[in-house]
Amino acid sequence: MNKPLQTAVDAENAHSRQTPDTPAVVIEEKVMRRNIERVQARLDALGLANRPHIKTHRLARVARLQMQAGAAAVTCQKIGEAEVMADCGIGPILISYNIIGPAKLARLRALASRCELAVSADSAEVVAGLADTFASADRPLDVLVECDTGACRCGVQTPADAFALARRINAEPGLRFAGLMSYPPMTEIEGVYGWLDEAVRKIRGAGLDCTTVSLGGTPNLDSLLPGTCVTEHRPGTYVYNDRSLIARRCCTIDDCALTVLATVVSRPTETRAIIDAGSKSLSSDLLGLDGYGLIKGHGDAVITALSEEHGHVDLTASVWRPAIGDTVRVIPNHACVVSNLFDEVNFADGAGGFEAVRVDARGRSR
Amino acid sequence: MNKPLQTAVDAENAHSRQTPDTPAVVIEEKVMRRNIERVQARLDALGLANRPHIKTHRLARVARLQMQAGAAAVTCQKIGEAEVMADCGIGPILISYNIIGPAKLARLRALASRCELAVSADSAEVVAGLADTFASADRPLDVLVECDTGACRCGVQTPADAFALARRINAEPGLRFAGLMSYPPMTEIEGVYGWLDEAVRKIRGAGLDCTTVSLGGTPNLDSLLPGTCVTEHRPGTYVYNDRSLIARRCCTIDDCALTVLATVVSRPTETRAIIDAGSKSLSSDLLGLDGYGLIKGHGDAVITALSEEHGHVDLTASVWRPAIGDTVRVIPNHACVVSNLFDEVNFADGAGGFEAVRVDARGRSR
């Protein structure tokens, strides 16, 4: 039943080709490479290791470029992503996520036998599961303590809690305490350093190694400080950039490597255009913004709403009057969720050529 | 490079199995079948043909159940979906979308040669492309005029415009004017009937057939009237239902067939729980609601925010204090975008058994 589909996809994947039909993700390779190099240089200058987060692209090809540019390792959010990266020979890998339950723990143990692997944990329950799983392993699993330094997501709540969990990990024969990990708040990260400093002092004061202190996020790349306890950064979105990062003044329109190519399919009124990219192509992520994406070259046109397959464009404030059949390029609000909607993305060589590449870890959120 | 992935997916697909690992889409087959039968009975009672929209499930298996229950045909939003349905022997098919550009028109012509097909159009430009493509076809293509009766998406703006476009279609040897199609506003559809009545009168007054008058949408199933010019309905979401339809009082919690199974992966504070379903599993669709889904059995717990792989649950208003490792079932705000995020869904037989089924047309938005 699925045979014809698979064949069609494989045929599409095989070769370079003309402009893809819409809706399609297009990635300007030159812009992407520049983004990779720029952030690597920034982290090099700060003396921080780069462990880029592959959740943004879920592509072995891009992870390889990041490693070649000088990344020390890659970060994955889920085991499924890490398995794909390991299949493609990419590592070392940090899974910055609490791994819970027998199915995932069994996969984690199998994965650890074939790549250099670390995970994070933020509770005794998670550590207990890891400890049981790796008690009989040939080599201990590296575990970082996840710290909630203000983003209010996962993480232990105080430096004292971080210390306590570090000791617990250290006491387990199958585990090795490898350091601290935090996804910091996107603004005002200065308090983060104080938090982590205190935790590191406690941990080292007890004679434990604390090799890695890891921060993450593209928005705070500019506010990172040199000469702190932090040893590495895990930026993700920087590889493509997106409208949310333009809004945060982290990049310009020209730094956005990923766009969604769409066609104007209807012009029902003078000031309304409908494009063939809706929430199944652009996602509904707003990230605090108005509108669902930026139409390149037509910043005054507003994507006011999305149906699943329709983008509703209000032209009231714009002089642009597109014709049916015109194509547009939309910079999405959030690149990381967009690349996960498509089975393939199209790398543009800047000379009119496109190469369709399957998104290796699309949908691997398990 | 993709080989290991494919093998893993195929192995997962093969058989019935135990509770799926999280995050996963679970579909209660019994509830889904009841939804299918209930809406079919409702439309039967109204004397309306049922042309369910497969965009909600993108599954041949469910489309087949809808046809077996009495649907006259299926509706697809994109050619990619229609190709998959035709591959699986399902039809007749309406593609309720403007088909534009040589690549899609060539696919449309190929598709029309192997299934009973109709499309919609809302402009002379779209009709011209269809007319050129089908000028030399063995049989004419059925084309419905899409009418904007108040939803402000695609569609001609007045009954007079509908009549003019109907005449244009009728004048093309490769096309057959098949009727009118509208995606009506979700509330107050009474004005819709007046709009369509006027268009039908004009069209029939000129001696043209107007076989089909098609409305759509699950939310207005309850407000449909008998004995009007409307001949069919295209409901989509009813097959699964979701939180947006609960909010609209179109269904109850017990009518929601689709849930996202998730695990509590962190309990950083007394009133915060983090689940392993984020925007890559639940989507960011709000559809006007507060929060990103309803945790079954814990309606006072609020999913206040989503990261890509984290659902942030605020327990302040709830007595529920979940443990790490607990699993929950989340009714998503919008089922149609959720089933498109997963490569497979898991049908639950209600007796503890699950069957993983690949989402045939996932990602087929082109």
What are the pLDDT digits (tens) for B49-87?
A: 999 999 999 999 999 999 999 999 999 999 999 999 999
SS (H, E, C) B243-305: HHHHHCCCCCHHHCCEEEEEEEEEEEECCEEEECCCHHHHCCCCCCCCCCCEECCCCCCEEEE
pLDDT band at residue B12 using 50, 70 and 90 as cut-offs: very low
* pTM as predicted: 0.95
- Contact assignment for A324 to B125 by CB distance below 8 Å: yes
- CA A252 to chain B, closest CA, distance in angstroms equals 24
Q: Is the pLDDT of residue A33 over 60?
A: yes
Q: Which residue of A has its CA nearest to B25?
A: A366
pLDDT, tens digit (0-9, with 9 covering 90-100), for A237-254: 999 999 999 999 999 999
Q: What token pair was written down for B181?
A: 């199609």
Q: Please list the residues that pair with A156 across neighbouring strands.
A: A147
User: CA B30 to CA B20: how far, in whole Å?
Assistant: 18
Q: Is the pLDDT of residue A359 over 60?
A: yes
- Contact assignment for B100 to A263 by CB distance below 8 Å: yes
pLDDT of residue A195: 97
Q: Is the pLDDT of residue A100 over 60?
A: yes
Largest CA distance in chain A: 71
The whole-number average pLDDT for the span B137-162 is 97
- CA A202 to chain B, closest CA, distance in angstroms equals 20
pLDDT band at residue B9 using 50, 70 and 90 as cut-offs: very low
Per DSSP, the residues of B108-175 read HHHHHTTS-EEEEE-SHHHHHHHHHHHTT-SSPEEEEEEB-SSS-SSSBSSHHHHHHHHHHHHT-TTE
pLDDT of residue A190: 79
Q: What token pair was written down for B298?
A: 């814990």
Q: What is the CA radius of gyration of chain B?
A: 22
Q: Which of B21, B153, B337 sits opposite A310 (nearest CB)?
A: B153
Q: Which of B24, B98, B365 sits opposite A265 (nearest CB)?
A: B98
- Contact assignment for A312 to B153 by CB distance below 8 Å: yes
The whole-number average pLDDT for the span A85-101 is 98
- Helices A79-87 and A60-68, packing angle to 10 deg: 70
Q: Is the pLDDT of residue B3 over 90?
A: no
Give the count of alpha carbons within 13 A of A286, CB side only: 13
- Contact assignment for B60 to A1 by CB distance below 8 Å: yes
Q: Which of B152, B263, B279 sits opposite A101 (nearest CB)?
A: B263
How many Å from the N-terminal Cα to the C-terminal Cα in chain B? 25
pLDDT of residue A9: 40
- Contact assignment for B309 to A55 by CB distance below 8 Å: yes
- Contact assignment for B21 to A280 by CB distance below 8 Å: no
B chain contacts of residue A152, beta-carbon cutoff 8 Å: 268, 272, 312
- Contact assignment for B284 to A283 by CB distance below 8 Å: yes
- Contact assignment for B21 to A84 by CB distance below 8 Å: no
B chain contacts of residue A97, beta-carbon cutoff 8 Å: 265, 276, 309
pLDDT of residue B267: 98
- Contact assignment for B155 to A268 by CB distance below 8 Å: yes
- Contact assignment for A365 to B309 by CB distance below 8 Å: yes
User: CA A119 to CA A76: how far, in whole Å?
Assistant: 9
- Contact assignment for A272 to B340 by CB distance below 8 Å: no
pLDDT band at residue A186 using 50, 70 and 90 as cut-offs: confident
% chain A with pLDDT above 90: 93
% chain B with pLDDT above 90: 93
Q: Which of A263, A308, A341 sits opposite B363 (nearest CB)?
A: A341
The whole-number average pLDDT for the span A120-135 is 98
- CA B350 to chain A, closest CA, distance in angstroms equals 22
The whole-number average pLDDT for the span A10-29 is 78
B chain contacts of residue A278, beta-carbon cutoff 8 Å: 365
Q: Which residue of B has its CA nearest to A287?
A: B284
A chain contacts of residue B363, beta-carbon cutoff 8 Å: 341-343, 362
Asked whether the beta carbons of B18 and A363 are under 8 A apart, the reply is no
Peptide bond connecting A20 to the previous residue in cis, omega within 30 degrees of 0: no
Task: Provide the mean pLDDT of chain B.
Answer: 95
Q: Is the pLDDT of residue B14 over 70?
A: no
pLDDT of residue B158: 98
Residue B121 DSSP SS3:
strand
Cβ neighbours of A290 (radius 10 Å): 10
- CA B222 to chain A, closest CA, distance in angstroms equals 22
- CA B255 to chain A, closest CA, distance in angstroms equals 22
A chain contacts of residue B8, beta-carbon cutoff 8 Å: 83
Phi, psi of A251 (to 5 degrees): -160, 170
Q: What is the CA radius of gyration of chain A?
A: 22
pLDDT of residue A87: 98
pLDDT band at residue A40 using 50, 70 and 90 as cut-offs: very high
pLDDT of residue A92: 98
Q: Which residue of B has its CA nearest to A324?
A: B125
A chain contacts of residue B5, beta-carbon cutoff 8 Å: 84, 87, 360
A chain contacts of residue B263, beta-carbon cutoff 8 Å: 100-101
Q: Which residue of A has its CA nearest to B265?
A: A98
pLDDT of residue B285: 97
pLDDT of residue A17: 67
pLDDT, tens digit (0-9, with 9 covering 90-100), for B187-203: 778 799 999 999 999 99
pLDDT, tens digit (0-9, with 9 covering 90-100), for A201-226: 999 999 999 999 999 999 999 999 99
pLDDT band at residue A3 using 50, 70 and 90 as cut-offs: very low
- Contact assignment for A358 to B2 by CB distance below 8 Å: yes
- CA A363 to chain B, closest CA, distance in angstroms equals 6
B chain contacts of residue A336, beta-carbon cutoff 8 Å: 308
How far from chain centre, in Å, is Cα A363?
13
Phi, psi of B108 (to 5 degrees): -65, -45
pLDDT band at residue A291 using 50, 70 and 90 as cut-offs: very high
Interface size between A and B, measured as CB pairs under 8 A: 181
The four Cα atoms B129, B135, B138, B141 give a dihedral, to 10 degrees, of 40
Asked whether the beta carbons of A16 and A197 are under 8 A apart, the reply is no
Task: Provide the mean pLDDT of chain A.
Answer: 95
pLDDT of residue B16: 64
Q: Is the pLDDT of residue B11 over 90?
A: no
Per DSSP, the residues of B199-226 read HHHHHHHTT----EEEEE-STTGGG--S
- CA B294 to chain A, closest CA, distance in angstroms equals 18
Interface test with A, best of B18, B114, B338, B366 (most A CBs within 10 A): B366
pLDDT, tens digit (0-9, with 9 covering 90-100), for A148-158: 999 999 999 99
- Contact assignment for B100 to A265 by CB distance below 8 Å: yes
Give the pairing of strands B93-95 and B117-121: parallel
Cβ neighbours of B91 (radius 10 Å): 18
The whole-number average pLDDT for the span B278-292 is 97
ipTM value: 0.95
B chain contacts of residue A268, beta-carbon cutoff 8 Å: 122, 148, 152-157
Q: Please choose, from the candidates B280, B296, B244, the residue with its C-alpha nearest in 3D space to the C-alpha of residue B56.
A: B244
Interface test with B, best of A3, A5, A19 (most B CBs within 10 A): A5
Asked whether the beta carbons of B148 and B189 are under 8 A apart, the reply is no
% chain A with pLDDT above 70: 95
Which H/E stretch holds residue B174?
A: none
A chain contacts of residue B101, beta-carbon cutoff 8 Å: 21-22, 263, 325
- CA A89 to chain B, closest CA, distance in angstroms equals 10
pLDDT, tens digit (0-9, with 9 covering 90-100), for B93-123: 999 999 999 999 999 999 999 999 999 999 9
